[in-house]
Structure 1
Amino acid sequence: MKIAIAGAGAVGRSIARELLSSAHEVTLFERLASHIDTSAVPDATWVLGDACELSNLERAQLHLFDVMIAATGDDKANLVVSLLAKTEFAVNRVVARVNDPRNEWLFGEDWGVDVAVSTPRLLASLVEEAVSVGDLVRLMTFRQGQANLVELTLPANTPLAGKPVRKLALPRDAALVAILRGKRVIVPQSDDSIEGGDELVFIAPEETEDDLFAAMQVAH
């Protein structure tokens, strides 16, 4: 895929390296010449220019890109980049970094954002996930479809132990996408059984989370 990243700070460069290692084509936009360091990510294409300016995106032919990642340290800039990418260049997937969790409510489809990533919220969710047993923990929100990635760790004495995945009475539009068991990551098949201590990862709309919790028969 062709991926553009606005902001070549530590976050943007790290994202670029990860994507390049997966054989994607990456272009980094950076408005400050002092932050341009081609040796840090030698396989990326570097553009000196503000990604908030339409002319710079036009010169880079952003309409040919599959993904735009707004990864600057400024929420206002990330919103502007996201809106331009979606409305002016019809980029299929726009991912935006949220620096201040208080601004997270802005990062939705009205500003062209498909997926908003809030580092503080994600870290807090991972802490909750590490210590919570029997509770649904929201890990990430996918704004475009208003669906959430949620995790539930089953207690050792769960009544679901031994039940096959096909017999889980999940609510409509909720899907079990992974079972984490020790060091194993299991892509669930219909005949796979649930065990106590399993970490279950679901994608579900927000309005079904209560029903999902009830379906898993786990008490607070």
Structure 2
Amino acid sequence: MRVAIAGAGAVGRSIAAELLENGHEVLLIDKSPQAVSVERVPQAEWLLADACEIATLDEAALERCQVVIAASGDDKVNLVVSLLAKTEYGVPRVVARVNHPKNEWLFNDAWGVDVAVSTPRLMSALVEEAVSIGDLVRLMRFSQGEANLVELTLPEGTAVAGTRVGEVAWPPDTTLVTIIRGPRVLTPDPEGTLEPGDELLFVTTADGEPALKALLSPPR
């Protein structure tokens, strides 16, 4: 898979290194000579240019990329790169970094963003996830379809504890993605049971979250 990353700061370089380790082809783009540190990620392609310019994206052959990641520290840049990648080059998957929470509402499919990653929101969600049992924690928002990735650690006393996965009437537009049980990551099996302490990951809509929370909470 070919991936272009706009923004070669610490975040962009870290993403590039991970993707290269997984066998992907990576191009890093940045207009700052100080950011272009080829020796830090020598396996990547590098382009010293402004990712907001059509000429740059033509040179980067963005139409050959399956994924574009807008990872700069400037939300305006990330929005422009996302919009150009989607509308001018038809990139199938565009992931954008949100630097300031107040701008998060802009990062949607109208700007070409498929997945918006808000570092402040993600960090606060991970803190909540680490200390919360029985609370629904939103980890990530997907722009397409207004779907969210949410997590809940199943508490004692809930009605679905001990119930087979296939017998649970999940809310509409809700899918159980995986079950984390101790050190194990389990693919949901219709014949498998839900156990207290299971960490459950779902993709659901904002409208479905209250019903999912009610389903998985102990009776009051």
CA contact (8 A) 2:114 2:144 kept: yes
- The 5-angstrom pairing of residues 1-220 of structure 1 reads 1-219=1-219
TM-score under structure 1 normalisation? 0.97
CA contact (8 A) 1:32 1:48 kept: yes
Q: CA deviation at 1:35?
A: 1.6
What's the secondary structure of 2:120's corresponding residue?
helix
Query: Which runs of 5 or more residues in structure 1 are unaligned?
Result: none
What's the secondary structure of 1:68's corresponding residue?
strand
What is the alpha-carbon distance in structure 2 between the residues aligned to residue 203 and residue 100 of structure 1?
Answer: 24
What is the alpha-carbon distance in structure 2 between the residues aligned to residue 74 and residue 218 of structure 1?
Answer: 43
CA contact (8 A) 1:108 1:143 kept: yes
Judge which range, 9-18 or 193-202, deviates more.
193-202
Query: Which runs of 5 or more residues in structure 2 are unaligned?
Result: none
Q: CA deviation at 1:58?
A: 0.7
Count of equivalent residues: 220
Q: Percent same amino acid at aligned positions?
A: 58
Q: Which amino acid aligns with 2:96?
A: A
TM-score under structure 2 normalisation? 0.97
What's the secondary structure of 1:207's corresponding residue?
coil
What is the alpha-carbon distance in structure 2 between the residues aligned to residue 217 and residue 32 of structure 1?
Answer: 51
* Aligned-pair Cα RMSD in Å: 1.2
CA contact (8 A) 1:138 1:151 kept: yes
Q: Which runs of 4+ in 1 moved over 2 A?
A: 156-161, 214-220
What is the alpha-carbon distance in structure 2 between the residues aligned to residue 111 and residue 153 of structure 1?
Answer: 34
Q: Which amino acid aligns with 1:147?
A: A
What is the alpha-carbon distance in structure 2 between the residues aligned to residue 167 and residue 215 of structure 1?
Answer: 13
